[in-house]
A and B are shown apart, each in its own frame.
Chain A
Amino acid sequence: METWSTNHQKELTARLLVRVKSLAAAIAGKLGRRPVIMEVCGTHTVALARTGLRSLLAGCIDLRSGPGCPVCVTAPEEIDYMLCLARQPGVIIATFGDMVRVPGSSGSLEKARIEGCQIQVCYSPREAVTLARSNPDREVVFLGIGFETTAPAVGLAVKEAAALSLKNFSIYSAHKLVPPALATLAADPDLKLDGLLLPGHVSAILGRRAFTFLAREYNLPAAIAGFDALDILGALLELLLQIQKGEAQVNNAYPRVVSETGNHKAQEILREVFSLAPANWRGLGLIPLSGLKLNTAYEAFDASHRWRLELKPAPPPAGCLCGSVLKGLCLPPQCALFGRRCTPLRPVGPCMVSSEGSCAAYYRYAREAG
């Protein structure tokens, strides 16, 4: 058994930490405020809290969480649609576990299960195909939540269902694409971001080049980061060096996983099964071409075609600041509900539910912070 890291890694991390802190302090002196950096990805939010990096950097960098949790950015009306689907006779909802407890206007899928609806937690979309095959007299609907990382696996499941000519399988596609959301954030005059810590997982699919528009069009420095302390500090250092020089580039600080043009096979599946569609993001609103709908060839597997349910726009729960948290406008502890009316056991908003959610990460690791 080894310790948390080899001595070499530990030494390197300590040295990087010192450099990051001193560079951030120098930039803060120049700007008259701490540099504002958004960690787009929920896994980064968790890693920053778990390793203690967030508290170590608290005085030097203003780290904001972003829209990088797929459950959290699912719009209230999409959750209501899922609840409505769950209550249709003969329907089995297959879903990732995180979605089960997210509250909508009329409860959650967990509540629907207690009422007698059939909700099956899956860990891969293909499990839902198996579920459909073993329940030929029921309609199995898989809830397609996630970014570019998850959507290819859902696409594969759809292809498999098509190859099997399954008549009782469909997906509800609430997938979201990260680059259009980042463009929205970059263009937001209220945010004044100095840099973006880009998600390693999504970048592995899309490749570094997919993010160069951030530097080119918005003059916003960005760096792709992996998920351990060394990775994150390395990416932060690259970002800070850019900020100090007044440059804007998209650095790949996770080259062992992320290539220039990404995972072509996954991209091919996305292109074959889905096409771009407008999507409504919690907190960010409607963003053109930021969602995925099934292509015409696979329309038979689109749950929103099979069940044309009329749903009213759903306002967010009263007092819930998930939208502002996702936009980086506030930190979870600044929400009046945080840790009081809203906890992982009784979540008001989705950011308190998902393991990737900013509020859940703060609640788990730094309840009194902020």
Chain B
Amino acid sequence: MTDCGSITGTVSLAHGDGGELTHRLISDLFLRYFRDEALQPLNDAALLPAQCGLLALTTDSFVVKPLFFPGGNIGTLAVNGTVNDLAVSGARPLYLTVGLILEEGLPLPVLEEVIAALAAAASEAGVAIVAGDTKVVERGHGDQIYINTTGLGLVAGNIDLGCHRVRPGDVIICSGAVGDHGLAVLAARENFGLEGLKSDCAALHTLILPLLENFPGAVKWLRDPTRGGLATTIKELALSAQVDIILSEEAIPVHDSVRGGAEILGLDYLYLANEGKFCAVVDRVAAEDVLAFLRRHPLSCEAALVGEIKEGSGRAFLRTALGATRELYLLSGQQLPRIC
């Protein structure tokens, strides 16, 4: 490994032992990409200026396979996933920590590509990477790279989001087409040869923070429907707010590539993961203005009003295109592609 050339070789156990190779990995690779001031002293803890308001803290681990997929990679996912957890809590994301668990034998150029993507995603999202950690496990004891990111954000005092504010008569707005990420990753992992699929992996705070600023009080609840997809997220909301929710199948945006791919594989796109979408509960009176606002942003140009909140006891329903109503439940076990 050199100071300025491309990195070659593979990860070895010595890269994680805290000795010379660890030091070189940090100085020659990580610090080339992670340039935030708070990280540079490489102290045991980052020293950050105290902030006024509510702190939002979240952590998430990323074990996606394959590491690279259409529309993103494990690095972009590790940043955007955590940034979005902060954003849907109404927080402005400020800082990230990055924990890496590397498998012995991982090619260093692959690691570099992931680190570069991670740094670029953080830079694009405007969050500072201020602390990190690296461990190496023996070959066969990991799956190339696992990443943990912890995010710290700040919530402005006037923001109040939560299921306690959800009322019958409110509506559900989905910021765009569902299922893109889940199917893109599955198709890439299993080499299904489906075309036109691309993960929606994106940081949403540049969309959510102005939304909250422009519609104070009208946006009542936010969530990014990741694992379990839209259906599970809506069912969770119904349960926690103790209301019934009715979604309209025809109103839910979904790309034809996802609809067709899911049909071929026997999967339900309502349960496929998303990494660049949010669902919002919005006061019905403001709904049209919120939709118009969202549709002006490239990340939510396909936003749609997909359902409504009713009096009830925690049930979620889908009104199908045929006019039937079926109940939605939490995802129960992994969705498996069918055999025949």
A: which residues have CB within 8 A of B? 1-5, 10, 13-14, 17, 42-43, 46, 49-53, 55-56, 70-71, 96-98, 101, 123, 145-147, 149-150, 201-202, 227-229, 343-345, 354-356, 363-368
Contacts and interface: CB of A to CB of B under 8 A. Distances in A.
A51 B320 contact: yes
Given A345-B332, A356-B339, A52 B268 contact: no
A52 B326 contact: yes
Contact of B333 (A50, A229, A345): A345
Interface string B229-265: 0000000000000000000011001111000000100
Contacts of A367: 327, 329
Contact of A344 (B267, B324, B333, B338): B333
A229 B253 CA distance: 19
B326 A55 contact: yes
B177 interface: yes
A16 to B, nearest CB: 10
B321 A51 contact: yes
B323 interface: yes
A53 B322 CA distance: 8
A53 B338 CA distance: 21
Nearest to B319: A52
Contacts of A96: 339
A227 B263 contact: yes
Contacts of B329: 363-364, 367
A364 B325 contact: no
Contact of A123 (B190, B253, B256, B323): B190
Nearest to A149: B340
25 contacts: A1-B256, A2-B256, A14-B322, A17-B322, A43-B266, A51-B321, A52-B322, A55-B325, A55-B326, A70-B340, A98-B338, A123-B190, A123-B192, A150-B339, A201-B340, A229-B321, A345-B333, A355-B338, A356-B338, A356-B339, A363-B329, A365-B327, A366-B327, A367-B327, A368-B327
B321 A10 contact: yes
B335 interface: yes
Interface string B309-324: 0000000000011111
Nearest to A41: B340
Contacts of B190: 123
A3 B19 CA distance: 58
Nearest to A343: B332
Q: Which of B267, B324, B333, B340 counts the most chain A CB atoms within 10 A?
A: B340
A363 B268 CA distance: 14
Nearest to A58: B324
B338 A4 contact: no
B302 interface: yes
Given A43-B340, A70-B340, A53 B332 contact: no
Contact of A145 (B192, B267, B339): B339
A194 B72 CA distance: 52
B337 interface: yes
B338 A42 contact: yes
A201 B264 CA distance: 11
A364 B232 CA distance: 12
A111 B112 CA distance: 37
A90 B194 CA distance: 35
Contact of A70 (B249, B337, B339): B339
B266 A355 contact: yes
Contacts of A201: 340
Nearest to B189: A123
Contact of B340 (A2, A56, A146): A146
A255 to B, nearest CB: 19
B70 to A, nearest CB: 18
A34 to B, nearest CB: 18
B335 A355 contact: yes
B249 A4 contact: yes
Which secondary structure dominates chain A's binding surface?
Answer: loop
Contacts of A1: 177, 253-256, 302
A123 B340 contact: no
A292 to B, nearest CB: 14
B269 to A, nearest CB: 10
A4 B336 contact: no
B336 A97 contact: yes
Contacts of B335: 355
Nearest to B315: A368
Interface string B168-200: 000000000100000000000011100000000
Contact of A356 (B249, B250, B266, B332): B266
Contact of A150 (B268, B320, B336, B340): B340
A42 B322 CA distance: 21
B324 A56 contact: yes
Contacts of A364: 268, 329, 332
A234 to B, nearest CB: 14
Given A145-B339, A150-B340, A355-B338, A5 B323 contact: no
B326 A365 contact: yes
Sort A-B residue pairs by CB-CB distance and give the 9 closest, nearest first: A52-B324, A52-B320, A344-B333, A4-B321, A149-B340, A344-B332, A123-B190, A97-B336, A56-B324
A4 B335 CA distance: 22
Nearest to B186: A123
Q: Which interface residue of A14, A364, A367 has the most chain B CB atoms within 10 A?
A: A364
A149 B264 CA distance: 14
Nearest to B231: A364
B324 A147 contact: no
A366 B326 contact: yes
Given A123-B337, A201-B340, 15 more contacts: A4-B249, A4-B321, A42-B338, A56-B323, A98-B338, A101-B333, A123-B191, A147-B340, A344-B332, A355-B338, A356-B340, A363-B329, A364-B329, A364-B332, A367-B329
B194 to A, nearest CB: 12
Contacts of A4: 249-250, 321
Given A98-B339, A150-B339, A363 B321 contact: no
A364 B231 CA distance: 11
Interface in B25-75: none
B259 to A, nearest CB: 8
Contacts of A51: 320-322, 324
A98 B338 CA distance: 7
B321 A5 contact: yes
A345 B333 CA distance: 6
Nearest to A229: B322
